[in-house]
Amino acid sequence: MDAFKKSLGSTMGKLVACGGCLFLVIIGIVIMAAASSNASKSSSNPTSVPAKADNSTSTIQVTSQTTTKATASPTQAIPQTLLDLTGSGTKTTQKFTAASDWDLNWSYDCTNFSSGTGNFQVFVYQGDGTMSLDNAGVNQLGAKDTNVEHYHTGGTFYLEVNSECSWHITAKG
């Protein structure tokens, strides 16, 4: 009978140990399933899971990794050059047509001018010859500068450049 009790005790101990292992496996699966259901973020989330085996308490470190699927964004059109001029002095450009959003890249350099500084102006006109009130021009005074004006009203335009300095303008849209 003592041998039976020892065998039964040993078997019960093994069952408790297996039950504890099974419990840990189930907890791990639940954590991984919960982590994989959150597919909108990509992160590494360490999680501590308490487990009981053989009446002792231990902690298991479980790290789950979720991955976000990249969705294709609509392709954005590459801006086309509508006008590209380099010069000095006063110039009225040819007409160009821009979409609702367009940019005017400009630069000027007056360092070779007698005083080393000068004025640089760009006026934006509608195709019918009236000044564009929605697309303000450029008016700079200095040795040299470069910048971009972002316009959000499209149409047919031409530019008038006024400067004693060398300059470069590009309209893109």
Q: How far is CA 90 from the centre of its chain?
A: 40
Separation in Å, CA 116 to CA 5, 12, 107, 113, 119: 106, 96, 15, 5, 11
Per-residue pLDDT tens over the stretch 93-105: 999 999 889 999 9
Question: Using 50, 70 and 90 to split pLDDT, how confident is the model at 51?
Answer: very low
Q: Is the pTM of this model over 0.85?
A: no
| Cβ neighbours, 10 Å, residue 83 | 19
| Mean pLDDT to the nearest integer, 109-125 | 93
pLDDT of 115 higher than 50: yes
* Contact criterion met (CB below 8 Å) for 98 and 127: no
Q: What is the mean pLDDT of residues 26-40?
A: 51
Buried b (16+ CB within 10 A) or exposed e, 62-74: bebebeeeeeeee
Q: What is the pLDDT of residue 77?
A: 75
| Mean pLDDT value across the chain | 75
* Domains assigned to the chain: 10-65 (no CATH), 81-172 (2.60.120.380)
Give the pLDDT score at 94: 97
Distance CA 155, CA 54 (A): 80
